[in-house]
Structures are given as structure tokens and as C-alpha cells.
């Protein structure tokens, strides 16, 4: 098991894409910069999809321009096609997002899996000309809300297609939060054999409370990159039953307990989550927004005592 992992924070994109109220860009910038001050060094900040499709992310250019960029900072954003690439100025990693299943692809992108891939095919060369690179992200890598269990061979086939066009990083999305530890291990093992040069990134939703268990299986199988969202916010608007991402606070807290370095200050991260909740005027579902980190002690004199 690795002694260090890299966490990509996705709350401003995946966390907010289904949020019903438009969040002003200055508040998004404030959250981004608070995360960076807490030590986050990979931030999936937004998506260059059509503003009509996702109005919450229509401010993508302004958000990217307002984020602080310390040394070593990597900014990621979803870039679905050439038009998105033309807008993605200042983005280091273009995340080419598509679905593994045909039905979810129709719901999410209004096209087939093959059509979605053809939209993406020109992006690696286009990104290289802009000084960026492309990462592939596969939605419904474990289950589709319309078709059921996603065959492992379908994920492997798409991974090979991406490898063939020069993509070297693959994000596996547990879009509706149905992955279980045994299935996570099985898919990672299959990919490790089929696409030996690809780096795997795991993206879990905590819909059924299995996300941290799945992260641990990822660690045990050699994965060192994970995605999570501040406060545990999020969910795909085009996948019935999808709910929040695994919370960054909870992932970092678990890594602290396991002695695995993340480079992120847990207390500062929790404060960033509180700020996020205040801005959204909601209680966020992260466990570490409701419970203190392990090891925090309380004065005995402040404790309630049994009568008698």
C-alpha cells in the first residue's frame, strides 16, 4: 500500500453541477482558494459544456481566471469536444468525459458511445497545442441506472481506445454509487492487464455508504489517485439515483488515520467545508462536518455525568 496519495477535489464541478441555485463566481473562487490554502494541488474546477445544458457552470472562464496558482497547482476541467477546448484557456488537464453504457451516453451527451468517442478523438492533439493534456473519464464504469451492471469488458474496450489515441490517465466513475470492494478490485485488475501504461484514478459516490471501503480496496490494489468533493456534495443530473461524492474531508481523515500522506491540512479542509456550507446555506453530508477528527479530546469537567 502506498504511503502517499493524490486527491483531486471535484466539488466545484461535480459538487455544484446539480445544485439548484446559481452560486456567484466570486463565491466559487473563494472556495477554490480556500482549498488551495489547505493544500489541495489538483482541482477539477468546472466544465466547458454548453451553458444551456448546465447553467451553474456557465462562468467557467471567469472561475479559471480567478483561481490562485501556487507552484505545483494543477487545474482540471471537463472538456467534451472541440468547442470546449477552445474555451479551456488556463486549464492544465482536459478531462474528456463520456459514458460506458449506450443509454447513459444518450441521456448525458445526446449521442452514442461511438459518437461521443469521435467527438473526443481530436482533443489530445488540440490540448498538446495549447500546452495541456487529456485525461479520460468514464461515467457508469460499474453500473448504469438504465441498463444495470456495466460489463468489465466494455470498460476495458474503451480504455484501449483511449490508450490508442495517446491518453495515459483513466478516471473510473462510480456514477450512481453501486460499486462494491470485490467489483472494484476486479475492474482494476482487468485494466492493469489490458492497459498497462494507463494511470487509474478512482471516483466514488457514497450513495450506499461504500465509498471509503472502495477507496481502501483501491489503495490495496496500488491506486494512488482518488477524486472527492468538499462536503460530500454532488451527483450526475442525468443519472437517476445518483447522490453525493465521497467527501474530501472524510477521505483525508481516513488517510491520516492510516498514516498515508495527502499534502492536505485536515483542519483547514474542514474549515473550507464549513465555508462551502455557509455559502450554500445548507448542512453538507461529510462525516467530518458533523464529527470531530479522531483524537480530539474533551475536558472532563465539561462532560455530562450520570446522576446518583
Q: How far is CA 251 from CA 131, 254, 256, in A?
A: 31, 5, 9
For residues 111 and 115, give the distance between their C-alpha atoms in angstroms, rounded to a whole number: 6
Taking the C-alpha atoms of residue 52 and residue 101, their distance in angstroms, rounded to an integer, is 24
**Rounded distance between C-alpha atoms, residue 56 and residue 41, angstroms:** 23
- The helix/strand/coil state of 102 is helix
> Is there a catalytic annotation at residue 144?
no
Query: Residue 70 phi/psi, 5° resolution?
Result: -70, 165
101 to each of 98, 145, 186, how far by Cα in Å? Answer: 9, 10, 19
The CA distance from 28 to 48, in Å, is: 16
> Which letter does DSSP use for residue 122 in this model?
T
Which of 236, 254, 264, 288 is catalytic? The answer is: 236
Longest dimension (CA), the chain: 76
Q: In whole angstroms, what is the distance from residue 45 CA to residue 36 CA?
A: 12
Exposure on the CB side of residue 92, measured as CA atoms within 13 A = 13
- Active site amino acids: 236
Amino acid at each position: 500500500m502506498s504511503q502517499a496519495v493524490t486527491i483531486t477535489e471535484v466539488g466545484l464541478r461535480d459538487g455544484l453541477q446539480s445544485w439548484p441555485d446559481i452560486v456567484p463566481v466570486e463565491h466559487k473562487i473563494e472556495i477554490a482558494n480556500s482549498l488551495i490554502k489547505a493544500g489541495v494541488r489538483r482541482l477539477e474546477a468546472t466544465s466547458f459544456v454548453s451553458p444551456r445544458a448546465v447553467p451553474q457552470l456557465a462562468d467557467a472562464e471567469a472561475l479559471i481566471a480567478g483561481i490562485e496558482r501556487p507552484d505545483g497547482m494543477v487545474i482540471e476541467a471537463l472538456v467534451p469536444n472541440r468547442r470546449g477546448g477552445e474555451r479551456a484557456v488556463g486549464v492544465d488537464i482536459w478531462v474528456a468525459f463520456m459514458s460506458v453504457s449506450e443509454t447513459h451516453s444518450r441521456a448525458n451527451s445526446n449521442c452514442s458511445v461511438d459518437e461521443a468517442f469521435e467527438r473526443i478523438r481530436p482533443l489530445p492533439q488540440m490540448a498538446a497545442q495549447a500546452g495541456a493534456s487529456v485525461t479520460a473519464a468514464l461515467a457508469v464504469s460499474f453500473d448504469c441506472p438504465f441498463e444495470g451492471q456495466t460489463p468489465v469488458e466494455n470498460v476495458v474496450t474503451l480504455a484501449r481506445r483511449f490508450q490508442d489515441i495517446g491518453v495515459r490517465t483513466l478516471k473510473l466513475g462510480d456514477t450512481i454509487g453501486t460499486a462494491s470492494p470485490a467489483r472494484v478490485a476486479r475492474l482494476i485488475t482487468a485494466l492493469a492487464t489490458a492497459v498497462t501504461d494507463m494511470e487509474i484514478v478512482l471516483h466514488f459516490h457514497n450513495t450506499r455508504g461504500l465509498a471509503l471501503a472502495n477507496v481502501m480496496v483501491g489503495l490495496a490494489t496500488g491506486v494512488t489517485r482518488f477524486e472527492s468533493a468538499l462536503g460530500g456534495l454532488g451527483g450526475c443530473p442525468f443519472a437517476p439515483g445518483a447522490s453525493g461524492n465521497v467527501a474530501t474531508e472524510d477521505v483525508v481523515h481516513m488517510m491520516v488515520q492510516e498514516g498515508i500522506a495527502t499534502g492536505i491540512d485536515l483542519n483547514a479542509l474542514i474549515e473550507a467545508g464549513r465555508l462551502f456550507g455557509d455559502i450554500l446555506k445548507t448542512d453538507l453530508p461529510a462525516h467530518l462536518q458533523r464529527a470531530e477528527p479522531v483524537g480530539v479530546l474533551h475536558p472532563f469537567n465539561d462532560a455530562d455525568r450520570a446522576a446518583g
